């Protein structure tokens, strides 16, 4: 079945015949009808001109697709549509042969845009259909069934509005006796060694609490099917912020979670919150202060990750945007697990400029499990059974994210 080319407007026809010349009997009636028709002709003519003048405008698109960019990397084809404004889109997947069709409402392709042939084992070619409505339709002809993601990006990095389609080869059916698909999760217990983190008046150290919860989480994830967990540190040692990120990058992790305990000037402040990276600034003043404390000893702007992007077709903009989107989903899943269990008051998902979250490839979040400055929460944080519950909540949030959002892995 070919992607539909849009329904044609019904054609209106006029037939002449005996019924068309039938007159109304009765002189007075005939005269009244005749005069009323004659008197209405200027009005009808004006309405007809108005409708005809407005007809092209009714089908004029408000957004133009000004270009299509493609990039092929290992295991993925990326198609980017450059737009003059935001759009609504709908995706459907015809079969026999396999295709991905994206309907872009109230939009039109520029005249110079035409089909694109690709040298890729999954996506054979990209076609454009100009449909009435108006509607711009992008069709990706596939060689076999594939997984895909379609998402919009706002202006940024020198580009305007964009619509992005990522296509991944479908995961083959597992072979008999083959190892199950595996996802890698890197767990980062915050602080350590010479850096104790937040400390209570009684001497409780953030670094120690985070390490204990991290080890418990590692043990839980190790028992989950298809999950391979790794700790950035397994004992009380100093570890630089950059080293923590590079540990996740080196393992090509599917998720990176940094565990922390918060502190505040007021002893009344309490609750759990989850952060993901902001490239522009913190969500609020409190988030900015948390980021400042957690970033001590690191240099955000000089972090040398951008070098690896120089050969990518779209540079840091799209890749960072896709990672941030996944990071936000991971943050929502983890905080949602806290809210579901009612383990701690929710302070929401927030953004801040944390060095430890500055990865262009790995979905990353920083979790503040509670406030060491709040006596009620400190009492619970000292309890091993409560730490175990914290680890279980984190596990549930990570597994929910992987189940719903993480890219599939080949066995």
Give the residue from 169, 204, 222 where a domain finishes: 169
150 and 205 housed in the same domain = no
CA distances from 282 to 106, 300, 301 (A): 35, 14, 15
Shared domain for 122 and 266, answered yes or no, is no
The DSSP annotation for 256-287 comes to EEEEEEE--SSTT---EEEEEE-SS--SSHHH
CATH number at residue 369: 3.40.630.40
Residue 106 gets which letter from DSSP?
A: T
82 & 225 share domain: no
What size, in residues, is the chain?
Answer: 411
- Residue finishing a domain among 169, 197, 222: 169
pLDDT for res 120: 86
Count CA atoms within 13 Å of residue 347 on its CB side. 20
On whether residue 175 sits in a domain, the answer given is no
* Domain match, 199 and 343 both: yes
Same domain? For 164 and 196 the reply is no
Q: Which residue ranges of the chain lie beneath pLDDT 50?
A: 1-59, 173-176, 178, 281-291, 293-319, 410-411
The pairing of strands 116-117 and 123-131 is: antiparallel
212, 258 in Cβ contact below 8 A? no
Cβ atoms of 72 and 61 within 8 Å: the answer is no
Alpha-carbon gap, residue 82 to 157, rounded angstroms: 13
38: Cβ–Cβ under 8 A, 6 or more apart, which residues? none
Considering the domain architecture, whether residues 218 and 364 belong to the same structural domain is answered as yes
Helix (H, G, I), strand (E, B) or coil at 182: coil
- Cα–Cα distance for residue pair 339/348, rounded to 1 Å: 10
Element (DSSP H or E) covering residue 148: strand 146-153
CATH number of the domain to which 100 belongs: 2.60.40.3500
Alpha-carbon gap, residue 73 to 286, rounded angstroms: 40
Within-domain flag for 204: yes
Peptide bond into 97 cis (omega under 30): yes
What is the spatial distance between Cα 58 and Cα 390, in angstroms, rounded to a whole number?
A: 57
Q: Rounded distance, CA 37 to CA 41, Å?
A: 6
Task: For residues 369 and 286, state if they share a domain.
Answer: yes
Asked whether the beta carbons of 250 and 180 are under 8 A apart, the reply is: no
Instruction: Mark whether 231 and 271 lie in a shared domain.
Output: yes
Last residue within a domain, chosen from 130, 147, 169: 169
Q: Give the three-class secondary structure for 191.
A: coil
Same domain assignment for residues 160 and 270: no
The torsion of the CA quartet 384, 386, 387, 391, rounded to 10 degrees, works out to 140
Q: Is residue 15 part of a domain?
A: no
Same domain assignment for residues 254 and 318: yes
Do 153 and 80 fall within a single domain?
yes
CA separation (Å) from 353 to 69, 282, 290?
30, 6, 10
Radius of gyration of the chain (CA): 30
Residue in 110, 247, 113 with CA at minimum distance from that of residue 188: 247
Exposed, middle or buried: residue 202 (CB in 10 Å: 0-12, 13-18, 19+)? exposed
Reported as half-sphere exposure (CB side, CA atoms, 13 A), residue 252 has a value of 4
Q: Determine, yes or no, domain membership for 83.
A: yes
Domain contains 301: yes
pLDDT given at position 368? 93
Q: Is residue 40 part of a domain?
A: no
CB 211 within 8 A of CB 192: yes
pLDDT tens profile 35-93: 333 444 444 444 444 444 444 444 456 899 999 999 887 668 889 999 999 999 999 88
**What is the domain range of residue 149?**
63-169
- The CA distance from 143 to 262, in Å, is 51
The structural domain count of the chain equals 2
Would 39 be classed as within a structural domain? no
174 within some domain: no
Same domain, 399 and 262: yes
Measure the CA angle with vertex 174, ends 173 and 180; round to 5°.
135
CA distance to 260, 283, 318, 379, per residue, from 208 (Å): 10, 28, 38, 15
pLDDT of residue 227: 94
E strands in 47-110 = 63-73, 76-83, 88-92, 99-105, 107-109
Contact 371, 269 (CB under 8 A): yes
């Amino acid at each position: 079945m070919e992607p539909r080319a849009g329904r044609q407007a019904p054609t209106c026809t006029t037939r002449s015949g005996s019924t068309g010349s039938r007159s109304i009997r009765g002189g007075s009636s005939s005269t009244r009808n005749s005069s009323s028709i004659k008197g209405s002709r200027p009005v009808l003519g004006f309405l007809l001109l108005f409708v005809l003048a407005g007809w092209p405008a009714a089908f004029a698109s408000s957004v133009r697709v000004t270009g299509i960019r493609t990039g092929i990397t290992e295991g993925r084809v990326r198609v980017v549509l450059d737009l003059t404004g935001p759009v609504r889109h709908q995706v459907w997947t015809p079969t026999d042969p396999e295709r991905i069709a994206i309907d872009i409402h109230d939009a039109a392709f520029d005249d110079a845009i035409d089909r694109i042939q690709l040298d890729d084992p999954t996506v054979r070619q990209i076609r454009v259909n100009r449909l009435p409505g108006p509607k711009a339709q992008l069709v990706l002809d596939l060689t076999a069934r594939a997984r895909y993601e379609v998402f919009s990006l706002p202006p940024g990095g020198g580009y305007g509005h964009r619509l992005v389609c990522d296509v991944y080869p479908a995961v083959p059916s597992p072979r008999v006796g083959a190892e199950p698909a595996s996802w890698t999760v890197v767990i980062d217990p915050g602080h350590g060694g010479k850096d104790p983190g937040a400390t209570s008046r009684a001497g409780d150290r953030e670094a120690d609490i985070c390490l204990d919860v991290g080890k418990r989480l590692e043990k839980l994830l190790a028992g989950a099917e298809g999950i391979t967990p790794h700790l950035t540190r397994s004992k009380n040692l100093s570890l630089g912020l950059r080293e923590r990120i590079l540990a996740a990058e080196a393992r090509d992790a599917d998720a990176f979670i940094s565990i922390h305990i918060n502190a505040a000037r007021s002893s009344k402040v309490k609750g759990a919150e989850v952060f993901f990276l902001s490239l522009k600034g913190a969500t609020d003043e409190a988030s900015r202060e948390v980021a400042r404390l957690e970033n001590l000893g690191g240099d955000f702007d000089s972090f040398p990750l951008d070098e690896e992007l120089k050969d990518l077709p779209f540079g840091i903009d799209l890749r960072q945007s896709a990672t941030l989107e996944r990071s936000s989903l991971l943050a929502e899943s983890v905080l949602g697990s806290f809210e579901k269990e009612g383990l701690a008051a929710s302070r929401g998902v927030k953004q801040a400029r944390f060095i430890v979250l500055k990865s262009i490839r790995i979905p990353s979040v920083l979790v503040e499990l509670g406030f060491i400055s709040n006596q009620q929460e400190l009492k619970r944080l000292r309890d091993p059974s409560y730490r175990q519950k914290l680890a279980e909540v984190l596990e549930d949030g990570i597994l929910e994210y992987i189940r719903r959002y993480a890219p599939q892995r080949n066995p």
